[in-house]
Amino acid sequence: MSQSIIADAGRIVVKVGSALVTNDGRGLDHARLARWAEQIAALNKLGKEVVLVSSGAIAEGMQRLGWSKRPRAVNELQAAAAVGQMGLIEAYERGFRGHGLHTAQVLLTHADLANRERYLNARTTLRTLLGLKVIPIINENDTVTTDEIKVGDNDTLGALVANLIEADVLIILTDQPGLYTADPRKHPDAEFVHEATAGDPRLEAMAGGAGTGIGTGGMLTKILAAKRAARSGAHTVIASGREDKVLERLAAGEAIGTRLLARQEPLAARRQWLADHLQVRGKLVLDAGAVQALAVQGKSLLPIGVIEVRGDFQRGEVVGCIAPDGRDIARGLVNYSADEARRIARRPSSEIVALLGYQEEPELIHRDNLALL
């Protein structure tokens, strides 16, 4: 059954890494891009809706600008992305046109997904494009992103898109066969992981660092992406993009790569949006009792359970909730500003009026506005 997750899928997000679309980082490999277009067109003929998240813009920009090393300065990375996006989309457009398919470029930032209205607009646009049989080609909008609004890597972006459109499967194609119990380059006895549960903590211990100097994602980002995608019920497959016709063979039910299965019930749309916040305005450190109340009993967060308030935020912004040991356990819309939260922390709700002069809500975060991680 698990081998047929792609064969049974109606909506798929495919992410291809830099190593699979460039000539070792020296510009785009147009023959490879044409093959990706061919395979995705084949999936389209099977009635599957496919969204493509593709790396390669910065590498193409570097090649066009004559740069041999990836720049570190943000403005230079932005410039390379702006130049490279032209070539990347041009190449994909040409490839898909040969199969009678239109493409659409969609550039996203974390800010687009953090704002509820923009999140819903992006969701509607992508669903409309899929309904029109158009292939959306998505990348992070590196031209304008800074650390404050950056998604960070296309593995994470692929998971966010999978959540956004409620995809059935996220396929992460890389230059590695899949996940091993340890780095096979350093540990010859490492075993290949054919199937596991997305979000299993043991997977993160197995994952290594980034493998190339061009891309930004290593195996750990893929493991975390699968964990994130599972929140909306999407399964993940991590496989080698160097396998011949890998997408078509996966769609036929062939077992290739590592399958990370989503075992949990999909989060409701509003809670999914909250959980997808990569950056938060502040953090609330909870005591053990509050962690238990949220994570086990499904209750709201009361001021008395907050040990410490970090950051600067306003009422209605998204904040993180962390356990005493530093673990992120939830995201939520806070009912009070950071200054107000500090004044009422460790105090019962019955004292809010005396402490602040008014009471918006008895909870610091209501359970309806809370998403567990």
pLDDT-based confidence at residue 208 (cuts at 50, 70, 90): low
Same domain, 248 and 310: no
Same domain, 210 and 319: no
- The dihedral sign for the CA sequence 164, 207, 16, 145: positive
DSSP 349: G
Alpha-carbon distances, residue 29 vs 56, 69, 80, 152, 265 (angstroms): 10, 18, 17, 23, 40
Same domain, 259 and 287: no
pLDDT digit string, tens, across residues 166-183: 999 999 999 889 999 887
Same domain, 249 and 267: yes
Query: How distant is the alpha carbon of residue 249 from its chain centre?
Result: 25
Q: In the Cβ-directed half-sphere of 372, how many Cα atoms lie within 13 Å? A: 16
Question: For the chain, what is the total number of helices (H) and then of strands (E)?
Answer: 13, 15
pLDDT-based confidence at residue 52 (cuts at 50, 70, 90): very high
Q: What CATH number did the domain enclosing 342 receive?
A: 2.30.130.10
Same domain, 183 and 67: yes
pLDDT at site 213: 38
pTM for the predicted model, two decimal places: 0.80
Provide the residue range defining the domain that includes 174.
2-271
pLDDT at site 97: 97
Contact between residue 52 and residue 138 where contact means Cβ atoms under 8 Å apart: yes
Buried-exposed string 118-135: b where 16+ CB fall within 10 A, e elsewhere: ebeebbeebbebbeeebb
Alpha-carbon distances, residue 224 vs 37, 171, 204, 207 (angstroms): 27, 14, 8, 10
Same domain, 166 and 229: yes
pLDDT-based confidence at residue 36 (cuts at 50, 70, 90): very high
Number of domains present in the structure of the chain: 2
DSSP 265: P
Token pair listed for 278: 């990569």
pLDDT at site 26: 80
Instruction: Express as a percent the part of the chain with pLDDT over 90.
Output: 58
Contact between residue 327 and residue 357 where contact means Cβ atoms under 8 Å apart: no
pLDDT digit string, tens, across residues 1-15: 466 788 889 999 999
Which among 227, 245, 271 is the end of a domain?
271
What is the four-CA torsion angle of 90, 95, 96, 99, rounded to 10 degrees? Answer: 150
Which among 249, 271, 293 is the end of a domain?
271
Distance CA 50, CA 158 (A): 12
Same domain, 65 and 111: yes
Same domain, 163 and 297: no
212 contacts: CB under 8 Å, gap ≥ 6: 18, 19, 25, 175
Q: What CATH number did the domain enclosing 31 receive?
A: 3.40.1160.10
pLDDT-based confidence at residue 238 (cuts at 50, 70, 90): very high
Phi-psi region of 326 (alpha: psi -120 to 50; beta: other; left: phi over 0): left
What residues does 184 pair with on adjacent strands?
Answer: none
Q: Kindly state the average pLDDT of the residues 307-323.
A: 92
Same domain, 258 and 287: no
Contact between residue 72 and residue 156 where contact means Cβ atoms under 8 Å apart: no
Which among 218, 247, 271 is the end of a domain?
271
